[in-house]
Amino acid sequence: MPKIQELPEKYCVAEREVQYLLFDPDAQLKNTTVVNVSKTYYYLKDNLVPGFFQIQNRRYLGNKYKLTAFISDILSEKCGSFQSLCDIFAGTGVVGNHFNKKNVRIISNDFLYSNYVVLKTFMGITDINLNKLKDKIRLLNSLMPIEDNYFSLNFGSTYFTLENARKIGAIREKIEELSVNEDEKLVLLTSLIYAVDKVANTVGHYDAFRKKLDTTNPLVLLMPNIKPENNCDNEVYCEDANQLIRKISSDVLYIDPPYNSRQYCDAYHLLENLSRWEKPNVYGVAKKMDRGHLKSDYCLKSATKAFAELIRYAKCKHILVSYNNTGKSKDCRSNARIKDSEIVNILKRKGEVQIFERNYKAFTTGRSAVDGHTERIFYCKVTE
C-alpha cells in the first residue's frame, strides 16, 4: 500500500484527487465497460518464398502475432481510418508491421538494439539492392570455420553445437567486413538473428540453455521478406519509451510494455551481445554480460509511475494498451506489475476508456504455469 504522500507522483494526479484514490482505487475500474470477445481468429499458414523468412518467424516472449487480428478489429471499430501508428514497445515488431502500408506512417521503437536491428530492417529501410544481399548471404552460408572465436568459446556446446557456434561467430565477424553501409549490415544481422533462433538449444529465450544438447540442425541464413516501398515515411528508434514519447506524435499509440519482473535484457542477452558485438566479459552458467543499463522500469516497483508518465506526455488521438492479467502464476516473478485499476485510473485522466478481453495462451519462459490467462486491450479515446 503506497503512502499518502506518494500517490500524486505515482499516478501523476493532483493532490486534491488523492483521497478519491485512497478510499476507492477500484472505482474507475468498476465503472469501465468490459467487452468480452469470443470471436475465433484463424491464421493462414505462412506462404513463404523459398529462401525467405517473415518478421513473425521468431520465438519471442510476448510475441503478439496471433493477436494482430484482435488488435486490428478494435482499431477498425474505435478508430476507423488513421494515418499514423506508434508501436512504442515494439519487441518483434509484428504489430507495427501488420499495419505497415504506403498510406500509414509507422513509428517503431524498442530499447534493445537486437530488436531495433529487426525493426529497422523490416520497417525502416527504403532503398537496398536485394540481389547483392542474396549473394552475400550465400557467401556467409558457405563459411566453414574450424577455429574457435569469441562466440564459440562462450556459447558453444551449451546454447549451440560447437560447429554452429563457430559459424555464428565467424559470420558475425564477416558481416562487419562485407557490409558497405549501415542498412546492409542491419539486414545481414537480421538474417543471422533469425537463423540463430532456429538452432538455439533453448525453449525460445536465453535465460538458460537446455541440459540436453539435441538441437543439432546446421545454421542456415535466409533472406528477410521486406517491402522497402512501404517504409518511406516510417521512423524507427532504439530509445527509452518514456523519453521518446516527449518527441513524437501519432494518431494511434499502441503500448505493449513488459508485464512482470522478468527483464527482456536477461532473456535476450545473447542476441544483444551478438548484435552489438562489443565482446564483453560474460558471467555465470548462462554467460550473461552486464545488463544494468538495459533494465526496464516497467519490470520494477516503479512500473506504475513509469506508465503514468508515459500517458501524461502522449500526443495522440487513440491509445491501446496491451496488458494481460497473467492469471495466477506459480512463480511470483510472472505476476503483473501494474493492476487493472491503476491502468484505468491513469488512462481516464486522458479520455474515455473501454476494456476488450479474450482468453489467450501466451508464450512463457517455460517455468511458469499460468491459470486464467486473459489478454486485455485497454482502449482510450483521447479527449484532453
User: In the prediction, which pLDDT does 7 show?
Assistant: 55
More confident residue, 350 or 47: 350
Three-state DSSP state, 229: helix
pLDDT bracket for residue 10 (50, 70, 90): low
Three-state DSSP state, 84: strand
Shortest CA distance to 188 belongs to which of 135, 123, 127, 143? 135
User: In the prediction, which pLDDT does 164 show?
Assistant: 98
Predicted TM-score of the model (pTM): 0.89
In a domain, 327, yes or no: yes
User: In the prediction, which pLDDT does 334 show?
Assistant: 63
pLDDT bracket for residue 188 (50, 70, 90): very high
The whole-chain average pLDDT of the chain stands at: 89
C-alpha cell at position 150: 569469441
The Cα–Cα gap between 347 and 323 comes to 13
What are the pLDDT digits (tens) for 133-143?
A: 999 999 999 99
pLDDT bracket for residue 50 (50, 70, 90): confident
In a domain, 348, yes or no: yes
What are the pLDDT digits (tens) for 264-279?
A: 999 999 999 999 999 9
The Cα–Cα gap between 57 and 60 comes to 10
In a domain, 28, yes or no: yes
* CATH number of the domain enclosing 310: 3.40.50.150
User: In the prediction, which pLDDT does 277 show?
Assistant: 98
In a domain, 247, yes or no: yes
C-alpha cell at position 384: 484532453
In a domain, 312, yes or no: yes
Three-state DSSP state, 213: coil
Are the C-beta atoms of residues 383 and 351 closer than 8 Å to each other? yes
More confident residue, 74 or 366: 74
Angle between helix 113-123 and 269-276 (nearest 10): 70
User: In the prediction, which pLDDT does 374 show?
Assistant: 74
Domain hosting residue 311, numbered range: 1-39+57-101+240-261+300-384
In a domain, 359, yes or no: yes
In a domain, 151, yes or no: no
* Total number of domains constituting the chain: 1
More confident residue, 8 or 268: 268
Judged against a pLDDT cut of 60, whether residue 331 lies above it is answered with no
User: Most distant CA pair in the chain: distance in Å?
Assistant: 69
Number of H helices, E strands in the chain: 15, 12
Task: Return all residues near 40 (Cβ < 8 A) that are at least 6 apart.
Answer: none
In a domain, 271, yes or no: no
User: In the prediction, which pLDDT does 298 show?
Assistant: 94
The Cα–Cα gap between 117 and 87 comes to 15
Alpha helices in 81-229 (DSSP H): 94-98, 113-123, 130-142, 150-155, 162-178, 182-199
